[in-house]
Structure 1
C-alpha cells in the first residue's frame, strides 16, 4: 500500500495472525487504555484467525498491518457498522502498535492507510472510534488526523472502587 520512514503498510493476511495476536496480547498486558483486562484476555489463535478472515472477506471491512525490517509492528482493523441498511455506511476501528515502536509515527501511518482505504470505498462514509478519556496521546493523534468528538459516555469504565473514565466517541466523514 505505502511506505513511510522505512515503515511498510499493507493489507494483512492470515500469515500475520500469530504476530498480531501477540501484539494484541502484549498491549492488553501493559496498557490501561484497552477495554479488555489481562485476566480477561483469552483469545486463541484460531479465534483471531476467524476474526481476521471476517475482515478479509468483507469488502467494507479491512485489516492493515505495518512492518519494519520485515516484521509486523502494528495493525489497524476496521469493522463495518453492520449488515443493516441504515448503518452500512459506517464503521469503527481499533489500532494497536507494539510498545517498542510507539512514538515513531506508526499509528499515524496506519490511520492514514485506513482513511485512504475508506475514502476509496464507495460504501463507507463515516469512520468512528471510541477512546478512553485519559488516553491523551491517542486523542491528540485522532484530532490531528481530522477526527472530531461527537459525544461521551460518562463514567463508562470503572477502573477502581472510586475511579471512572469516560468513553470518548469520535468520528471523521470520508
Structure 2
C-alpha cells in the first residue's frame, strides 16, 4: 500500500473516489454528490494544487495504482488560529475497510501536520450516526470536546456531529 500527497495529476482519479464516497455514504459528508459532480476537471486539479503546502491538501492510499482511500486537511486561517488544522473528507473504499488503511491515511496526515512544526491541535467533526468512525478516531487519539446539533441537513433530516480534537505534545 502506497500513501502519498495527491497533486493535480491525480484529479481525475480523486474525483471518482470522492463522488463514490458521496454516493455510498452521503450522510457522512458536508458536501453532496449533486454539488460535487458539477466540478470541472480544472476545478478538481485546482483543489489538489500543491501551490500552498501546509495550508490544505489531500493524501491518497493506492493499491495496484488505484486510489482506494483519501483524507484531507486544512489549516485554520488567521494569526490566532493557525496553530490548528482540521481533518476532512476521510473515505476508504469498502473493499479496503478493516485493512488498516484508514489508520495509515490518518497517520500520514497527522505526521505531515506535525512536521509543519507550528500546528499543535487537529480537529475533526463526525456524524453521530457513525459510531464506528467515532471509535476509530478515539483509537487514533482524538477526544470528543463537544456536539453540534443539526450540523448537517439533508432534505428534512438533520445530523448531529461530534466535535473531536487531538493535541500534539
What residue number does 1:33 align with? 28
Spell out, residue by residue over 1:91-150, the C-alpha distance to the aligned partner (whole angstroms, 9 max, x if none). Answer: 112212223222322111100111111222212111111111111121111000000111
- Structure 1 residue 49 corresponds to structure 2 residue 41: no
Q: Give the aligned length.
A: 165
Match of 1:122 among 101, 108, 117: 117
Q: TM-score with structure 2 length normalisation? A: 0.88
Residue 68 of structure 1 is matched in structure 2 by 63
Q: Is the 8 A contact 1:60 1:124 kept in 2?
A: no
Q: Contact 1:12–1:64 (CA<8 Å) still a contact in 2? A: yes
Q: Runs of 5+ in structure 1 lacking a partner? A: 1-6
How large is the Cα RMSD of the aligned pairs?
A: 1.7
Does residue 4 of structure 2 align to residue 10 of structure 1? Answer: yes
Structure 1 contact 156–165 (Cα < 8 Å) conserved = yes
| Residue aligning to 1:3 | none
**133-142 vs 96-105, which moves further:** 96-105
Partner of 2:54: 59
Other structure's SS at 1:39 match: helix
TM-score (structure 1 length as normaliser): 0.86
Return the alpha-carbon distance in structure 2 between the equivalents of residues 14 and 156 of structure 1: 31
Partner of 2:158: 164
